[in-house]
Amino acid sequence: EEAHKAVSIFLDDGVDAPLQEKGAGLQSLLLIALFQLYSRKFHQGSTLLLLEEPENHLHPHARRVLAQSLISFCQGDQGDAENRHRQVILTTHSEDFVRLSEPESLKIVRIESEEANKTSRFWQLDSLDNSSYPRWKRVLWRNPEIVFSRHVILVEGGEVYLVPEIASKLCEEKGILD
């Protein structure tokens, strides 16, 4: 029962050293990877992983690798005979997670303040049809910071993607400007 207290994890990222001497970002990555391994090997039911700003203390390349790893985790392993449902819910300020996400899976929470009355407002894209999905995917790939902005200024080129979507939403008619 006490054997686990004597175990030390060493990590070689160019310098072989105990895990507690590594940075917070690397420690977080290892913890997420261990959870994913545990879920794949031992968890027989549905799995939910909640993460708060997993991009903190990570190099940009490590953020992209983590984002792709979480997507692969949700999609399941090839050859996985059982249909296990895996879901990741995370809060982020990283464009890398937005860029790799499906547009319909993004949920935006904003705190709106009216002096003493603070309320949270949730926003998401409605279910996208086949014509608007590629547009939103391109917008989020090229300009993922749009998700984190309070206001967006359209400049040359942006109107090609956003104005038709805005017009469809306002007029409640799909493809009104097509």
Could you read off the pLDDT of 105-135 as tens digits, one per residue? Answer: 888 888 777 666 778 888 887 777 777 788 8
Query: How large is the average pLDDT for residues 27-38?
Result: 91
pLDDT at 53: 93
Which one, of 138, 47, 145, 50, lies nearest residue 96 by Cα? 145
pLDDT at 118: 78
At 93 the three-state DSSP class reads: coil
* Alpha carbon of residue 122 to chain centroid: 16
pLDDT tens sequence across 46-77: 889 999 999 999 999 999 999 999 988 888 76
Which of 25-34, 36-45, 118-127, 161-170 reaches the highest mean pLDDT? 25-34
Q: Are 139 and 98 in contact (CB under 8 A)?
A: no
Q: Are 58 and 25 in contact (CB under 8 A)?
A: yes
C-alpha span between 169 and 104 (Å, rounded)? 15
Q: What is the pTM of this model?
A: 0.70
Which one, of 6, 30, 9, 29, lies nearest residue 18 by Cα? 9
pLDDT at 82: 56
Structure token pair of residue 109:
């929470």
**Choice between 138 and 84, residue whose per-residue pLDDT is larger:** 138
**Main-chain phi, psi angles of 85, to 5 degrees:** -100, 120
pLDDT at 49: 92
C-alpha span between 51 and 117 (Å, rounded)? 28
CA 13, 40, 34, 10 torsion-angle sign: negative
Lowest-confidence region among 38-42, 81-85, 125-129: 81-85
Query: How high does pLDDT run on average in the chain?
Result: 83
pLDDT at 50: 94
Query: How large is the average pLDDT for residues 87-112?
Result: 87
C-alpha span between 153 and 104 (Å, rounded)? 23
Cα dihedral value 58, 62, 67, 70, nearest 10: -100
pLDDT at 57: 92
